[in-house]
Amino acid sequence: MTEHKLLVVGGRVQTLRKAAALGIRFVLIQHKDQLVPEAAQLAEAVIVADYTDWDVTRPLVEAAHRAYGFTRVVSITEPGLVPAGRISDHLGLGSTSEEVAELLRDKHAMRRHLAASGSPEVRALSVAAAEVDGAGALTAFGAEHGYPFVLKPVDATASLGVVRIDGPEQAAAAWAGVEALRARTDLQWGSFFTIGRFLAEQYIPGPEYSVETFSFAGRHIVLAVTEKLTGDGFVELGHALPARLTPADEQRIEEAVARFLDAVGLADGAAHTELRLSPAGPQIIESHNRMGGDRIFDLLHSAYGIDLEEWIVAWQFGLIPALTGRPAPRRAAATRFLSAGPGTVVEIQGAEEARALGHVIDVETTVRPGDTVGELRGNWDRVGQVLVTGTDTEEAVAVAERLTERVTVVTSASLSSSASASPSLSAASLPSPARAVEGAAA
């Protein structure tokens, strides 16, 4: 029997459990701040190190490779993708290369790469972009390419630091925001991401979607198109799948994502690609060679029966068959995020009642009484989410939105504004399929 041996770079303990259940033996390299005791029980060996530091990582993985003989390397976490590619290249393991992972991490490099393509169809997937270094560069970009445009970090994630600039009068304040963000020392994943370079790029109008794909030796299969709710800004407030699209628009998105993945050279594994369906057609915002965040993988599992995290490790050794076509959904699923006014968390209401409902996948809260809630400036500032299923997407969205009215994170700010008590939660208080649209608007 062939032994399957893997190096896992960072990530969740759930990934390790799934690898172990598949009979895969693995070595884990993990940052000290992210290590949990269970990982040591599941792994053949654990290397505790900052895996984003190549000078530290290189001799450690070389020694582990000699000792344990792993033949593949994988990461599902954003800061581990480029290191995993570098390790693969260095040891000749044949996984996704550093060049491909870096193209997807560095949004400016991705824009330049698409713009240099010999294919007009590939160039049409992108927009004009330039690295900027001050307020003057912002006004110069606006003068050349017009308004509005978007200012964003070159290689951050979770909508952190993304702002829309509608005119030259906003340039100074926007760049002051950049300097303030660079000075922060309290950012989640601060050990992995340095907020340095910034990119200005043309604003893409139109509804926004994310596309979950899995590539099988160069053949890209769209698993699901997910519609996204962002409100007035760029912080993601909710997701739902399958997206409510016409067949023609769905096909346009599917073809665009396949062209994009071919263009950047991704051949194997999961990808999470964000785009907008603009008047000019689908245009790429960004992409990652991993599964999507915000627990979209849980929505995918509930609606399609696909455990994408398991697939990522299983495909490394051919333990799953390659799909020949798009999967069909069994139901719909949606998530909406919980919000709270800035202040100290006093109480969380309705979460346990909601978790007991049959169509609820989960209710997750990321704060506890005594925690401090700040302004909503990025995805990490959200305070939780509800995940639900429905017979169709309209029902799932309506149920999720109704639940966000019932699950409440009470802060000192909301107490001072004297909100009325929430009614008790029961299945009868949620919209039925026939009442879904009405319930969502209530």
Confidence of residue 3 (pLDDT cuts 50, 70, 90): confident
More confident residue, 165 or 232: 165
Q: What is the tens place of the pLDDT at every residue in 18-34?
A: 999 999 999 999 999 89
Stronger pLDDT, 71 or 343, i.e. the higher one: 71
What percentage of residues in the chain have a pLDDT greater than 70? 88
pLDDT of residue 428: 38
Burial state string for 140-160 with b = 16 or more CB within 10 A and e = fewer than 16: bbbeebeeebbbbbbbbbbbb
Calpha distance 13→36 (Å, rounded):
8
CA angle, residues 291, 292, 298, in degrees to nearest 5: 90
What percent of the chain clears pLDDT 90, i.e. is strictly above it? Answer: 71
Q: List phi, psi (to 5°) of 277.
A: -90, 90
Q: Would you state the structure tokens that stand for residue 177, as one six-digit string?
A: 């925001």
Quickly state the pLDDT bin for 259 (edges 50, 70, 90).
very high
Q: Please, what is the end-to-end C-alpha distance for the chain in angstroms?
A: 59
Average pLDDT, the chain: 89
Cβ neighbour number for residue 301 with a 10 Å cutoff: 17
**Cα of 102 vs its chain's centroid, Å:** 16
- Edge to edge, the sheet with strand 149-153 lists 129-132, 198-202, 149-153, 163-165
The whole-number pLDDT of residue 342 equals 87
Q: Render pLDDT for 199-218 as a digit per residue (tens, 0 to 9).
A: 999 999 999 999 999 999 99
pTM of the shown model? 0.88
Using the 8-state DSSP alphabet, how is residue 217 labeled? T
Give CA–CA dist 188/119, Å, rounded. Answer: 39
Class of residue 183 by CB neighbours under 10 A (exposed 0-12, middle 13-18, buried 19+): exposed
Quote the radius of gyration of the chain (alpha carbons, Å).
22
- Confidence at residue 187, expressed as pLDDT on a 0 to 100 scale: 63
**Amino acid identity of 376?**
L
Q: pLDDT for 84-127, tens place per residue?
A: 999 999 999 999 999 999 999 999 999 999 999 999 999 999 99
Q: What is the pLDDT of residues 127-184, one digit of tens each?
A: 999 999 999 999 999 999 999 999 998 876 556 778 999 999 999 999 998 888 888 7
Residue 241 has pLDDT above 80, yes or no: yes
Residue 236 pLDDT: 79
